[in-house]
A and B are shown apart, each in its own frame.
Chain A
Protein backbone atom coordinates (compact mmCIF):
# COMPACT_ATOMS: atom_id res chain seq x y z
CA UNK A 1 0.00 0.00 0.00
CA UNK A 2 2.77 2.39 1.03
CA UNK A 3 4.65 1.52 -2.12
CA UNK A 4 1.62 2.27 -4.24
CA UNK A 5 1.29 5.72 -2.64
CA UNK A 6 4.93 6.55 -3.24
CA UNK A 7 4.43 5.89 -6.94
CA UNK A 8 1.05 7.55 -7.08
CA UNK A 9 2.01 10.85 -5.48
CA UNK A 10 4.82 11.73 -7.92
CA UNK A 11 2.51 10.62 -10.74
CA UNK A 12 -0.25 12.97 -9.60
CA UNK A 13 2.27 15.78 -9.16
CA UNK A 14 3.63 15.12 -12.64
CA UNK A 15 0.13 15.05 -14.13
CA UNK A 16 -0.73 18.29 -12.35
CA UNK A 17 2.44 19.93 -13.66
CA UNK A 18 1.71 18.83 -17.23
CA UNK A 19 -1.83 20.19 -17.09
CA UNK A 20 -0.95 23.50 -15.44
CA UNK A 21 1.99 24.01 -17.81
CA UNK A 22 -0.50 24.38 -20.61
CA UNK A 23 -2.14 27.34 -18.90
CA UNK A 24 -0.95 30.75 -20.02
CA UNK A 25 -1.99 34.36 -20.40
CA UNK A 26 -4.32 35.13 -23.28
CA UNK A 27 -5.40 38.56 -24.43
CA UNK A 28 -8.05 39.62 -26.88
CA UNK A 29 -9.62 42.82 -28.12
CA UNK A 30 -13.27 43.01 -29.08
CA UNK A 31 -15.49 45.93 -29.99
CA UNK A 32 -18.68 46.50 -28.01
CA UNK A 33 -20.46 49.50 -26.48
CA UNK A 34 -18.92 51.61 -29.26
CA UNK A 35 -15.48 51.13 -27.72
CA UNK A 36 -12.49 48.82 -27.63
CA UNK A 37 -12.72 46.15 -24.93
CA UNK A 38 -9.53 44.49 -23.76
CA UNK A 39 -9.75 41.06 -22.13
CA UNK A 40 -6.84 39.29 -20.48
CA UNK A 41 -7.21 35.97 -18.71
CA UNK A 42 -5.08 33.10 -17.43
CA UNK A 43 -6.09 29.63 -18.56
CA UNK A 44 -5.72 26.89 -21.13
CA UNK A 45 -6.41 27.54 -24.80
CA UNK A 46 -9.81 25.74 -24.76
CA UNK A 47 -10.73 27.75 -21.64
CA UNK A 48 -9.76 30.94 -23.45
CA UNK A 49 -11.90 30.01 -26.46
CA UNK A 50 -14.97 29.29 -24.34
CA UNK A 51 -14.30 32.46 -22.32
CA UNK A 52 -14.27 34.61 -25.44
CA UNK A 53 -17.51 32.98 -26.62
CA UNK A 54 -19.04 33.77 -23.24
CA UNK A 55 -17.85 37.41 -23.35
CA UNK A 56 -19.26 37.84 -26.87
CA UNK A 57 -22.54 36.34 -25.65
CA UNK A 58 -22.84 38.61 -22.60
CA UNK A 59 -21.72 41.82 -24.33
CA UNK A 60 -23.95 41.43 -27.37
CA UNK A 61 -26.92 40.63 -25.10
CA UNK A 62 -26.28 43.73 -22.96
CA UNK A 63 -25.75 45.86 -26.05
CA UNK A 64 -29.14 44.79 -27.46
CA UNK A 65 -30.95 44.98 -24.11
CA UNK A 66 -29.83 48.54 -23.41
CA UNK A 67 -29.64 50.04 -26.89
CA UNK A 68 -31.96 53.04 -27.29
CA UNK A 69 -33.74 51.42 -30.26
CA UNK A 70 -34.43 47.96 -28.92
CA UNK A 71 -34.66 48.47 -25.16
CA UNK A 72 -37.47 46.25 -23.80
CA UNK A 73 -38.92 48.08 -20.82
CA UNK A 74 -40.44 44.86 -19.50
CA UNK A 75 -37.35 42.65 -19.38
CA UNK A 76 -36.22 41.70 -15.85
CA UNK A 77 -32.62 42.86 -16.51
CA UNK A 78 -33.79 46.30 -17.61
CA UNK A 79 -36.09 46.60 -14.60
CA UNK A 80 -33.32 45.50 -12.27
CA UNK A 81 -30.76 47.97 -13.63
CA UNK A 82 -33.34 50.76 -13.62
CA UNK A 83 -33.96 50.18 -9.90
CA UNK A 84 -30.24 50.29 -9.15
CA UNK A 85 -29.89 53.51 -11.19
CA UNK A 86 -32.86 54.99 -9.33
CA UNK A 87 -31.20 54.24 -5.99
CA UNK A 88 -28.04 56.11 -7.02
CA UNK A 89 -30.23 58.91 -8.43
CA UNK A 90 -31.88 59.38 -5.04
CA UNK A 91 -28.67 59.08 -2.99
CA UNK A 92 -26.87 61.56 -5.26
CA UNK A 93 -29.66 64.11 -4.86
CA UNK A 94 -30.57 63.78 -8.54
CA UNK A 95 -27.02 64.26 -9.88
CA UNK A 96 -27.02 60.81 -11.52
CA UNK A 97 -29.96 60.63 -13.89
CA UNK A 98 -30.31 58.16 -16.76
CA UNK A 99 -33.26 60.10 -18.21
CA UNK A 100 -30.79 62.77 -19.45
CA UNK A 101 -31.13 61.53 -23.06
CA UNK A 102 -33.22 64.50 -24.36
CA UNK A 103 -30.49 66.93 -23.18
CA UNK A 104 -27.68 64.86 -24.76
CA UNK A 105 -29.67 64.79 -28.00
CA UNK A 106 -30.35 68.53 -27.90
CA UNK A 107 -26.62 69.28 -27.64
CA UNK A 108 -25.92 66.89 -30.53
CA UNK A 109 -24.06 64.20 -28.57
CA UNK A 110 -26.08 61.41 -30.19
CA UNK A 111 -25.45 62.38 -33.81
CA UNK A 112 -22.06 63.99 -33.06
CA UNK A 113 -23.52 67.09 -34.66
CA UNK A 114 -22.67 69.41 -31.77
CA UNK A 115 -24.29 72.77 -31.06
CA UNK A 116 -24.95 75.10 -28.13
CA UNK A 117 -28.75 75.32 -27.67
CA UNK A 118 -30.57 78.41 -26.46
CA UNK A 119 -31.62 78.63 -22.76
CA UNK A 120 -35.24 78.27 -23.87
CA UNK A 121 -34.54 75.03 -25.72
CA UNK A 122 -32.69 73.69 -22.69
CA UNK A 123 -35.60 74.57 -20.38
CA UNK A 124 -38.07 72.79 -22.67
CA UNK A 125 -35.87 69.67 -22.85
CA UNK A 126 -35.42 69.67 -19.07
CA UNK A 127 -39.20 69.19 -18.75
CA UNK A 128 -38.62 65.74 -20.21
CA UNK A 129 -35.79 64.87 -17.81
CA UNK A 130 -36.09 63.42 -14.29
CA UNK A 131 -36.06 59.79 -13.23
CA UNK A 132 -38.74 60.33 -10.61
CA UNK A 133 -41.22 61.16 -13.40
CA UNK A 134 -40.81 57.60 -14.69
CA UNK A 135 -43.21 55.02 -13.33
CA UNK A 136 -41.39 51.83 -12.47
CA UNK A 137 -43.88 49.07 -11.70
CA UNK A 138 -43.12 45.53 -10.72
CA UNK A 139 -43.20 44.26 -14.30
CA UNK A 140 -42.56 47.25 -16.51
CA UNK A 141 -41.23 50.78 -16.78
CA UNK A 142 -43.68 53.37 -18.10
CA UNK A 143 -41.95 56.26 -19.84
CA UNK A 144 -43.98 59.48 -20.12
CA UNK A 145 -44.24 60.85 -23.68
CA UNK A 146 -41.04 62.49 -24.91
CA UNK A 147 -38.88 60.94 -22.22
CA UNK A 148 -36.00 58.65 -23.02
CA UNK A 149 -33.38 56.68 -21.13
CA UNK A 150 -29.66 56.85 -21.78
CA UNK A 151 -28.11 53.72 -20.32
CA UNK A 152 -24.59 54.91 -21.18
CA UNK A 153 -23.73 55.80 -17.58
CA UNK A 154 -24.33 52.33 -16.14
CA UNK A 155 -24.90 49.56 -18.74
CA UNK A 156 -21.24 49.14 -19.68
CA UNK A 157 -20.28 48.59 -16.04
CA UNK A 158 -23.14 46.13 -15.67
CA UNK A 159 -21.99 44.23 -18.78
CA UNK A 160 -18.46 44.00 -17.39
CA UNK A 161 -19.69 42.65 -14.04
CA UNK A 162 -21.81 40.03 -15.80
CA UNK A 163 -19.00 39.01 -18.16
CA UNK A 164 -16.46 38.80 -15.32
CA UNK A 165 -18.84 36.69 -13.23
CA UNK A 166 -19.41 34.38 -16.21
CA UNK A 167 -15.65 33.94 -16.67
CA UNK A 168 -15.14 33.21 -12.97
CA UNK A 169 -17.94 30.63 -13.17
CA UNK A 170 -16.04 29.05 -16.07
CA UNK A 171 -13.07 28.58 -13.75
CA UNK A 172 -10.94 31.55 -14.82
CA UNK A 173 -9.13 32.53 -11.64
CA UNK A 174 -7.13 35.53 -12.89
CA UNK A 175 -7.86 38.23 -15.44
CA UNK A 176 -9.37 41.58 -16.28
CA UNK A 177 -11.94 43.10 -18.61
CA UNK A 178 -11.36 46.71 -19.62
CA UNK A 179 -14.13 48.14 -21.79
CA UNK A 180 -13.02 51.59 -22.86
CA UNK A 181 -11.99 52.63 -19.37
CA UNK A 182 -14.50 50.70 -17.25
CA UNK A 183 -12.75 47.77 -15.69
CA UNK A 184 -13.07 44.71 -13.50
CA UNK A 185 -10.05 42.64 -12.45
CA UNK A 186 -9.77 39.51 -10.36
CA UNK A 187 -7.06 37.20 -9.06
CA UNK A 188 -3.42 38.27 -9.39
CA UNK A 189 -1.64 39.86 -12.34
CA UNK A 190 1.11 38.13 -14.41
CA UNK A 191 3.65 39.27 -11.80
CA UNK A 192 1.60 37.52 -9.05
CA UNK A 193 0.69 40.85 -7.49
CA UNK A 194 -2.39 43.08 -7.49
CA UNK A 195 -3.37 44.44 -10.91
CA UNK A 196 -1.72 47.75 -11.71
CA UNK A 197 -4.25 50.03 -13.35
CA UNK A 198 -2.92 53.25 -14.88
CA UNK A 199 -5.40 56.14 -14.67
CA UNK A 200 -5.04 58.52 -17.58
CA UNK A 201 -4.31 62.12 -16.64
CA UNK A 202 -7.22 64.31 -17.80
CA UNK A 203 -4.95 67.01 -19.28
CA UNK A 204 -1.36 65.77 -19.51
CA UNK A 205 0.49 62.93 -21.17
CA UNK A 206 0.94 59.92 -18.92
CA UNK A 207 -0.85 58.88 -15.75
CA UNK A 208 -2.56 60.56 -12.87
CA UNK A 209 -1.41 57.55 -10.87
CA UNK A 210 -1.41 53.79 -10.75
CA UNK A 211 -4.13 52.00 -8.82
CA UNK A 212 -3.55 48.53 -7.31
CA UNK A 213 -6.70 46.39 -7.43
CA UNK A 214 -7.76 42.77 -6.94
CA UNK A 215 -11.31 41.44 -7.20
CA UNK A 216 -12.47 44.98 -7.80
CA UNK A 217 -13.70 47.32 -10.48
CA UNK A 218 -12.99 50.92 -11.46
CA UNK A 219 -14.49 53.47 -13.81
CA UNK A 220 -13.64 57.01 -14.87
CA UNK A 221 -15.82 59.89 -15.98
CA UNK A 222 -13.92 62.78 -17.54
CA UNK A 223 -14.62 66.01 -19.39
CA UNK A 224 -12.01 64.99 -21.98
CA UNK A 225 -13.72 61.79 -23.09
CA UNK A 226 -16.33 63.37 -25.35
CA UNK A 227 -16.51 67.08 -25.90
CA UNK A 228 -16.59 69.89 -28.43
CA UNK A 229 -15.23 73.42 -28.29
CA UNK A 230 -17.21 76.48 -29.37
CA UNK A 231 -15.70 79.96 -29.13
CA UNK A 232 -13.03 78.74 -26.77
CA UNK A 233 -15.43 76.99 -24.38
CA UNK A 234 -15.23 73.24 -23.81
CA UNK A 235 -18.65 71.54 -23.72
CA UNK A 236 -18.36 67.94 -22.53
CA UNK A 237 -20.79 65.02 -22.31
CA UNK A 238 -21.43 64.89 -18.54
CA UNK A 239 -24.58 66.95 -18.10
CA UNK A 240 -26.00 68.30 -14.89
CA UNK A 241 -29.68 67.24 -14.97
CA UNK A 242 -30.59 70.31 -12.90
CA UNK A 243 -29.15 72.95 -15.26
CA UNK A 244 -29.07 71.13 -18.60
CA UNK A 245 -25.46 72.33 -19.06
CA UNK A 246 -22.23 70.32 -18.76
CA UNK A 247 -21.34 69.88 -15.08
CA UNK A 248 -18.42 72.09 -14.05
CA UNK A 249 -15.82 72.06 -11.30
CA UNK A 250 -14.03 68.81 -12.21
CA UNK A 251 -11.84 67.38 -14.94
CA UNK A 252 -12.15 63.74 -14.03
CA UNK A 253 -13.46 61.33 -11.41
CA UNK A 254 -12.32 57.72 -10.99
CA UNK A 255 -14.26 55.45 -8.66
CA UNK A 256 -13.04 52.03 -7.50
CA UNK A 257 -14.93 49.36 -5.58
CA UNK A 258 -16.37 45.85 -5.66
CA UNK A 259 -18.86 46.30 -8.53
CA UNK A 260 -18.09 48.01 -11.83
CA UNK A 261 -21.81 48.79 -12.30
CA UNK A 262 -21.74 50.97 -9.18
CA UNK A 263 -18.29 52.44 -10.00
CA UNK A 264 -19.61 53.46 -13.42
CA UNK A 265 -22.67 55.25 -12.01
CA UNK A 266 -20.86 56.74 -8.99
CA UNK A 267 -18.12 58.23 -11.19
CA UNK A 268 -20.81 60.18 -13.07
CA UNK A 269 -22.70 61.07 -9.87
CA UNK A 270 -19.57 62.34 -8.10
CA UNK A 271 -18.51 64.28 -11.21
CA UNK A 272 -21.82 66.17 -11.27
CA UNK A 273 -22.53 66.47 -7.53
CA UNK A 274 -21.27 69.33 -5.36
CA UNK A 275 -21.17 66.99 -2.31
CA UNK A 276 -19.22 63.87 -3.30
CA UNK A 277 -18.64 62.85 0.33
CA UNK A 278 -22.35 62.67 1.09
CA UNK A 279 -22.83 60.23 -1.81
CA UNK A 280 -19.87 58.06 -0.87
CA UNK A 281 -21.07 57.88 2.75
CA UNK A 282 -23.77 55.55 1.44
CA UNK A 283 -21.20 53.40 -0.39
CA UNK A 284 -18.46 52.66 2.18
CA UNK A 285 -16.85 50.07 -0.10
CA UNK A 286 -16.21 52.66 -2.82
CA UNK A 287 -13.58 55.37 -3.10
CA UNK A 288 -13.08 58.24 -5.55
CA UNK A 289 -10.14 60.15 -7.01
CA UNK A 290 -11.23 63.60 -8.09
CA UNK A 291 -9.31 66.06 -10.29
CA UNK A 292 -10.75 69.58 -10.07
CA UNK A 293 -10.61 72.28 -12.77
CA UNK A 294 -7.25 73.50 -11.44
CA UNK A 295 -5.84 69.99 -11.86
CA UNK A 296 -5.66 69.31 -8.11
CA UNK A 297 -6.17 65.72 -6.98
CA UNK A 298 -8.40 64.93 -3.99
CA UNK A 299 -9.92 61.74 -2.57
CA UNK A 300 -13.29 60.82 -1.15
CA UNK A 301 -14.73 57.70 0.44
CA UNK A 302 -12.79 54.48 0.95
CA UNK A 303 -8.98 54.71 0.76
CA UNK A 304 -7.34 53.02 -2.20
CA UNK A 305 -3.59 52.84 -2.89
CA UNK A 306 -2.72 55.19 -5.74
CA UNK A 307 0.93 55.36 -6.70
CA UNK A 308 1.73 58.76 -8.12
CA UNK A 309 4.67 59.41 -10.40
CA UNK A 310 6.41 62.75 -10.49
Chain B
Protein backbone atom coordinates (compact mmCIF):
# COMPACT_ATOMS: atom_id res chain seq x y z
CA UNK B 1 0.00 0.00 0.00
CA UNK B 2 1.47 3.38 -0.86
CA UNK B 3 1.29 6.43 1.38
CA UNK B 4 -1.75 7.93 -0.30
CA UNK B 5 -3.72 4.70 -0.09
CA UNK B 6 -2.76 4.34 3.51
CA UNK B 7 -3.97 7.84 4.38
CA UNK B 8 -7.13 7.12 2.46
CA UNK B 9 -7.74 4.06 4.60
CA UNK B 10 -7.25 6.14 7.74
CA UNK B 11 -9.85 8.61 6.50
CA UNK B 12 -12.12 5.72 5.69
CA UNK B 13 -12.02 4.43 9.24
CA UNK B 14 -11.65 7.19 11.80
CA UNK B 15 -13.15 5.06 14.55
CA UNK B 16 -10.19 2.73 14.57
CA UNK B 17 -7.40 5.16 13.78
CA UNK B 18 -5.55 4.75 17.10
CA UNK B 19 -4.80 1.17 16.13
CA UNK B 20 -3.76 1.83 12.57
CA UNK B 21 -0.13 1.16 11.84
CA UNK B 22 1.63 0.92 8.50
CA UNK B 23 1.71 -2.62 7.08
CA UNK B 24 4.98 -4.46 7.60
CA UNK B 25 6.60 -6.50 4.91
CA UNK B 26 7.76 -9.19 7.34
CA UNK B 27 5.11 -10.46 9.74
CA UNK B 28 4.22 -13.53 11.75
CA UNK B 29 0.48 -13.57 11.46
CA UNK B 30 -1.88 -11.85 9.08
CA UNK B 31 -5.58 -12.05 8.41
CA UNK B 32 -8.30 -10.37 6.43
CA UNK B 33 -11.66 -10.17 8.20
CA UNK B 34 -14.25 -9.63 5.50
CA UNK B 35 -17.86 -8.93 6.32
CA UNK B 36 -19.86 -9.60 3.18
CA UNK B 37 -22.55 -11.98 2.11
CA UNK B 38 -20.72 -12.53 -1.16
CA UNK B 39 -17.06 -13.27 -0.35
CA UNK B 40 -16.45 -14.60 -3.86
CA UNK B 41 -16.90 -11.10 -5.28
CA UNK B 42 -15.31 -9.10 -2.53
CA UNK B 43 -12.27 -10.84 -1.14
CA UNK B 44 -10.04 -11.07 -4.21
CA UNK B 45 -8.80 -7.44 -4.33
CA UNK B 46 -7.78 -7.70 -0.69
CA UNK B 47 -5.99 -10.99 -1.21
CA UNK B 48 -4.09 -9.49 -4.14
CA UNK B 49 -3.17 -6.46 -2.06
CA UNK B 50 -1.93 -8.66 0.73
CA UNK B 51 0.15 -10.81 -1.58
CA UNK B 52 2.54 -7.85 -2.02
CA UNK B 53 3.44 -7.89 1.67
CA UNK B 54 3.55 -11.63 2.00
CA UNK B 55 6.11 -12.31 -0.70
CA UNK B 56 5.92 -14.46 -3.80
CA UNK B 57 4.50 -17.96 -3.85
CA UNK B 58 1.65 -16.93 -1.54
CA UNK B 59 -1.01 -18.68 -3.54
CA UNK B 60 -2.25 -21.95 -2.08
CA UNK B 61 -5.49 -22.04 -0.14
CA UNK B 62 -7.68 -24.33 1.96
CA UNK B 63 -10.84 -24.11 4.04
CA UNK B 64 -11.19 -24.86 7.74
CA UNK B 65 -14.96 -25.27 7.62
CA UNK B 66 -15.91 -25.92 4.00
CA UNK B 67 -19.51 -25.02 3.13
CA UNK B 68 -21.48 -23.48 0.27
CA UNK B 69 -19.32 -20.35 0.33
CA UNK B 70 -16.15 -22.36 -0.16
CA UNK B 71 -17.76 -24.06 -3.17
CA UNK B 72 -18.37 -20.60 -4.62
CA UNK B 73 -15.00 -19.17 -3.66
CA UNK B 74 -12.73 -22.04 -4.75
CA UNK B 75 -13.36 -21.69 -8.53
CA UNK B 76 -12.91 -17.91 -8.35
CA UNK B 77 -9.54 -18.35 -6.64
CA UNK B 78 -8.48 -21.06 -9.11
CA UNK B 79 -9.29 -18.81 -12.05
CA UNK B 80 -7.07 -16.12 -10.55
CA UNK B 81 -3.95 -18.20 -10.19
CA UNK B 82 -4.51 -19.74 -6.75
CA UNK B 83 -4.13 -23.45 -6.13
CA UNK B 84 -6.14 -25.60 -3.76
CA UNK B 85 -3.91 -27.13 -1.08
CA UNK B 86 -6.50 -29.59 0.22
CA UNK B 87 -5.51 -29.56 3.86
CA UNK B 88 -5.20 -26.35 5.89
CA UNK B 89 -1.70 -27.20 7.15
CA UNK B 90 -0.41 -27.26 3.58
CA UNK B 91 -1.99 -23.95 2.57
CA UNK B 92 -0.57 -20.44 2.71
CA UNK B 93 -4.00 -18.92 3.11
CA UNK B 94 -6.71 -20.59 5.16
CA UNK B 95 -10.33 -19.47 4.95
CA UNK B 96 -12.97 -19.85 7.61
CA UNK B 97 -16.59 -18.74 7.57
CA UNK B 98 -18.53 -17.42 10.54
CA UNK B 99 -22.17 -16.37 10.89
CA UNK B 100 -22.60 -13.02 12.60
CA UNK B 101 -25.28 -12.86 15.24
CA UNK B 102 -26.15 -9.36 14.10
CA UNK B 103 -26.00 -8.06 10.56
CA UNK B 104 -23.22 -5.56 9.97
CA UNK B 105 -22.22 -3.18 7.19
CA UNK B 106 -19.78 -4.78 4.74
CA UNK B 107 -16.13 -4.09 5.49
CA UNK B 108 -12.67 -5.57 5.19
CA UNK B 109 -10.12 -5.40 8.00
CA UNK B 110 -6.47 -6.22 7.59
CA UNK B 111 -4.76 -7.54 10.73
CA UNK B 112 -1.01 -8.12 11.09
CA UNK B 113 0.52 -9.56 14.26
CA UNK B 114 -2.73 -8.82 16.07
CA UNK B 115 -2.80 -5.15 15.09
CA UNK B 116 -5.30 -3.65 12.74
CA UNK B 117 -3.41 -2.03 9.89
CA UNK B 118 -6.25 -1.19 7.53
CA UNK B 119 -10.02 -1.07 7.55
CA UNK B 120 -12.14 -0.60 4.45
CA UNK B 121 -15.80 0.08 4.84
CA UNK B 122 -17.82 -0.04 1.64
CA UNK B 123 -19.85 3.02 2.63
CA UNK B 124 -16.87 5.19 3.41
CA UNK B 125 -14.66 4.11 0.54
CA UNK B 126 -16.65 4.74 -2.62
CA UNK B 127 -13.63 3.81 -4.74
CA UNK B 128 -13.96 0.24 -3.57
CA UNK B 129 -17.66 0.04 -4.20
CA UNK B 130 -18.12 -1.03 -7.84
CA UNK B 131 -20.37 -4.09 -8.00
CA UNK B 132 -20.44 -4.36 -4.25
CA UNK B 133 -23.50 -4.27 -2.10
CA UNK B 134 -23.61 -1.99 0.87
CA UNK B 135 -26.49 -3.80 2.55
CA UNK B 136 -25.82 -5.19 6.01
CA UNK B 137 -24.39 -8.68 5.74
CA UNK B 138 -24.30 -11.58 8.14
CA UNK B 139 -21.26 -13.54 6.92
CA UNK B 140 -17.72 -13.07 8.21
CA UNK B 141 -14.95 -14.61 6.12
CA UNK B 142 -11.53 -14.80 7.75
CA UNK B 143 -8.54 -15.36 5.47
CA UNK B 144 -5.51 -16.24 7.65
CA UNK B 145 -1.96 -16.00 6.32
CA UNK B 146 1.30 -17.69 7.16
CA UNK B 147 1.68 -18.52 10.84
CA UNK B 148 -1.81 -17.80 12.02
CA UNK B 149 -3.12 -21.31 11.43
CA UNK B 150 -1.90 -23.45 14.32
CA UNK B 151 0.59 -26.15 13.42
CA UNK B 152 -1.44 -28.69 15.35
CA UNK B 153 -0.03 -28.08 18.82
CA UNK B 154 -2.37 -27.91 21.77
CA UNK B 155 -2.15 -24.69 23.76
CA UNK B 156 -1.15 -24.39 27.37
CA UNK B 157 -2.40 -20.98 28.42
CA UNK B 158 -4.32 -17.99 27.16
CA UNK B 159 -2.92 -14.45 27.09
CA UNK B 160 -5.26 -11.48 27.01
CA UNK B 161 -4.11 -8.16 25.57
CA UNK B 162 -5.86 -4.80 25.78
CA UNK B 163 -4.53 -1.95 23.61
CA UNK B 164 -1.48 -4.05 22.76
CA UNK B 165 -0.55 -4.56 26.42
CA UNK B 166 -0.74 -7.96 28.10
CA UNK B 167 -3.21 -7.81 30.95
CA UNK B 168 -3.63 -11.42 31.96
CA UNK B 169 -2.41 -14.96 31.42
CA UNK B 170 -4.55 -17.92 32.38
CA UNK B 171 -3.89 -21.67 32.10
CA UNK B 172 -6.14 -23.58 29.71
CA UNK B 173 -6.54 -26.54 32.06
CA UNK B 174 -8.34 -24.49 34.72
CA UNK B 175 -12.01 -23.85 34.00
CA UNK B 176 -12.77 -20.24 34.79
CA UNK B 177 -14.36 -17.00 33.59
CA UNK B 178 -12.48 -13.70 33.42
CA UNK B 179 -14.35 -10.41 33.42
CA UNK B 180 -12.25 -7.67 31.78
CA UNK B 181 -13.27 -4.00 31.95
CA UNK B 182 -13.59 -2.58 28.44
CA UNK B 183 -14.99 0.50 26.80
CA UNK B 184 -18.73 0.73 27.62
CA UNK B 185 -18.85 -2.44 29.67
CA UNK B 186 -17.05 -5.73 30.25
CA UNK B 187 -15.66 -8.57 28.16
CA UNK B 188 -16.26 -12.07 29.54
CA UNK B 189 -13.64 -14.68 28.59
CA UNK B 190 -14.62 -18.24 29.36
CA UNK B 191 -12.12 -21.09 29.68
CA UNK B 192 -13.61 -24.56 29.80
CA UNK B 193 -12.19 -28.00 28.98
CA UNK B 194 -8.97 -26.59 27.45
CA UNK B 195 -10.83 -24.21 25.15
CA UNK B 196 -11.25 -20.44 25.41
CA UNK B 197 -13.84 -18.14 23.93
CA UNK B 198 -15.40 -14.72 24.39
CA UNK B 199 -18.75 -15.20 26.04
CA UNK B 200 -19.90 -11.59 26.12
CA UNK B 201 -18.61 -8.28 24.84
CA UNK B 202 -20.02 -4.76 24.70
CA UNK B 203 -18.93 -4.33 21.05
CA UNK B 204 -21.56 -3.59 18.36
CA UNK B 205 -20.91 -6.44 15.90
CA UNK B 206 -20.32 -9.38 18.24
CA UNK B 207 -17.81 -10.85 15.81
CA UNK B 208 -15.67 -11.92 18.76
CA UNK B 209 -18.49 -13.73 20.52
CA UNK B 210 -19.43 -15.60 17.33
CA UNK B 211 -15.83 -16.76 16.78
CA UNK B 212 -15.52 -20.47 17.63
CA UNK B 213 -13.57 -21.47 20.77
CA UNK B 214 -9.78 -21.65 20.40
CA UNK B 215 -7.46 -24.26 21.88
CA UNK B 216 -4.34 -24.57 19.69
CA UNK B 217 -1.14 -22.57 20.21
CA UNK B 218 -1.14 -19.48 18.02
CA UNK B 219 -4.92 -19.28 17.64
CA UNK B 220 -6.44 -15.89 18.31
CA UNK B 221 -9.74 -14.14 18.86
CA UNK B 222 -9.77 -10.42 18.17
CA UNK B 223 -12.33 -7.86 19.28
CA UNK B 224 -11.37 -4.86 17.18
CA UNK B 225 -13.71 -2.23 18.67
CA UNK B 226 -12.37 -2.96 22.15
CA UNK B 227 -8.73 -3.25 20.99
CA UNK B 228 -8.79 -6.65 22.64
CA UNK B 229 -6.83 -9.75 21.69
CA UNK B 230 -6.99 -13.28 23.08
CA UNK B 231 -4.08 -15.54 22.11
CA UNK B 232 -3.38 -19.18 22.92
CA UNK B 233 0.22 -19.80 24.02
CA UNK B 234 2.05 -23.03 23.20
CA UNK B 235 3.55 -25.49 25.62
CA UNK B 236 6.89 -23.82 26.12
CA UNK B 237 8.22 -24.46 22.65
CA UNK B 238 10.08 -21.88 20.60
CA UNK B 239 9.17 -23.30 17.22
CA UNK B 240 7.77 -26.43 15.59
CA UNK B 241 9.22 -28.74 12.95
CA UNK B 242 7.85 -31.74 11.12
A40 CB to closest chain B CB (Å) equals 7
B94 CB to closest chain A CB (Å) equals 12
A85 at the A/B interface (Cβ < 8 Å)? no
B167 at the A/B interface (Cβ < 8 Å)? no
With A29-B28, A30-B26, A31-B57: A40-B238 Cβ-Cβ less than 8 Å: yes
**Judging by beta carbons under 8 Å apart, are A220 and B237 in contact?**
no
B186 CB to closest chain A CB (Å) equals 33
- Complex interface bits, B146-161 against A, C-beta within 8 A gives 1, otherwise 0: 1100011110000000
Among B27, B92, B234, which residue has its beta carbon within 8 angstroms of that of A198? B234
Chain A residue at minimum C-beta to C-beta distance from B87: A224
B164 CB to closest chain A CB (Å) equals 16
A129 at the A/B interface (Cβ < 8 Å)? no
B229 at the A/B interface (Cβ < 8 Å)? no
A254 at the A/B interface (Cβ < 8 Å)? yes
- Complex interface bits, B124-140 against A, C-beta within 8 A gives 1, otherwise 0: 00000000000000000
With A29-B28, A34-B57, A198-B153: A210-B235 Cβ-Cβ less than 8 Å: yes
Please, how many angstroms separate the alpha-carbon atoms of A40 and B154 in the complex?
Answer: 22
B96 at the A/B interface (Cβ < 8 Å)? no
Cβ < 8 Å to A, chain B residues 149-188: 151-154
Please, how many angstroms separate the alpha-carbon atoms of A219 and B216 in the complex?
Answer: 23
- Complex interface bits, A202-246 against B, C-beta within 8 A gives 1, otherwise 0: 100111101000000011101000100000000000000000000
Chain B residue at minimum C-beta to C-beta distance from A211: B241
Cβ < 8 Å to B, chain A residues 161-178: 176, 178
Please, how many angstroms separate the alpha-carbon atoms of A226 and B236 in the complex?
Answer: 28
**Judging by beta carbons under 8 Å apart, are B237 and A197 in contact?**
yes
- Complex interface bits, B209-242 against A, C-beta within 8 A gives 1, otherwise 0: 0000000100000000000000000111111111
**Judging by beta carbons under 8 Å apart, are B153 and A206 in contact?**
yes
Among A34, A40, A206, max chain B CB count under 10 A is at: A206
B58 at the A/B interface (Cβ < 8 Å)? yes
Chain A residue at minimum C-beta to C-beta distance from B150: A205
* Cβ–Cβ < 8 Å partners of B146 in chain A: 29, 36
- Complex interface bits, A261-301 against B, C-beta within 8 A gives 1, otherwise 0: 00000000000000000000000000000000000000000
B54 at the A/B interface (Cβ < 8 Å)? yes
* Cβ–Cβ < 8 Å partners of A34 in chain B: 57
* Cβ–Cβ < 8 Å partners of A181 in chain B: 241-242
Q: Work out how many contacts link A and B, with CB atoms closer than 8 A.
A: 97
Chain A residues bordering chain B, tally (CB within 8 A): 40
A296 CB to closest chain B CB (Å) equals 17
* Cβ–Cβ < 8 Å partners of B237 in chain A: 196-198, 207, 210
B157 CB to closest chain A CB (Å) equals 15
Chain B residues bordering chain A, tally (CB within 8 A): 27
* Cβ–Cβ < 8 Å partners of A82 in chain B: none
B56 at the A/B interface (Cβ < 8 Å)? yes
Among B28, B56, B241, max chain A CB count under 10 A is at: B241
Please, how many angstroms separate the alpha-carbon atoms of A27 and B29 in the complex?
Answer: 11
Please, how many angstroms separate the alpha-carbon atoms of A183 and B239 in the complex?
Answer: 9
A113 CB to closest chain B CB (Å) equals 11
Please, how many angstroms separate the alpha-carbon atoms of A27 and B113 in the complex?
Answer: 11
Chain B residue at minimum C-beta to C-beta distance from A36: B146
B45 at the A/B interface (Cβ < 8 Å)? no
* Cβ–Cβ < 8 Å partners of B241 in chain A: 178, 181-183, 197-200, 218-220, 254
* Cβ–Cβ < 8 Å partners of B54 in chain A: 31
* Cβ–Cβ < 8 Å partners of B57 in chain A: 31, 34
**Judging by beta carbons under 8 Å apart, are B27 and A31 in contact?**
no
* Cβ–Cβ < 8 Å partners of B151 in chain A: 198, 200
**Judging by beta carbons under 8 Å apart, are A200 and B83 in contact?**
no
* Cβ–Cβ < 8 Å partners of B240 in chain A: 178, 197-200, 207
With A31-B57, A112-B83, A198-B234: A36-B147 Cβ-Cβ less than 8 Å: yes
B55 at the A/B interface (Cβ < 8 Å)? yes
Among A178, A189, A205, which residue has its beta carbon within 8 angstroms of that of B152? A205
B180 CB to closest chain A CB (Å) equals 26
* Cβ–Cβ < 8 Å partners of A28 in chain B: 26-28
A195 at the A/B interface (Cβ < 8 Å)? yes
Chain B residue at minimum C-beta to C-beta distance from A218: B241
Among B54, B147, B153, max chain A CB count under 10 A is at: B153
**Judging by beta carbons under 8 Å apart, are B147 and A29 in contact?**
yes
Q: List 12 A-B contacts (CB under 8 A).
A: A40-B238, A178-B239, A182-B241, A190-B238, A196-B238, A197-B239, A201-B242, A206-B153, A222-B242, A226-B90, A254-B241, A309-B235
B contact residues vs A (CB 8 Å cutoff): 26-28, 54-58, 83, 90, 92, 146-147, 151-154, 216, 234-242
- Contacts beyond the supplied A28-B28, A31-B55, A38-B147: 16 A-B pairs with Cβ under 8 Å: A28-B26, A30-B55, A31-B58, A40-B239, A178-B241, A196-B236, A197-B240, A198-B235, A198-B242, A200-B151, A201-B242, A202-B242, A207-B240, A210-B235, A222-B242, A309-B235
Smallest CB-CB A-B distances: 10 pairs:
A200-B242, A28-B26, A198-B237, A31-B55, A220-B242, A198-B240, A181-B241, A196-B237, A178-B239, A206-B154
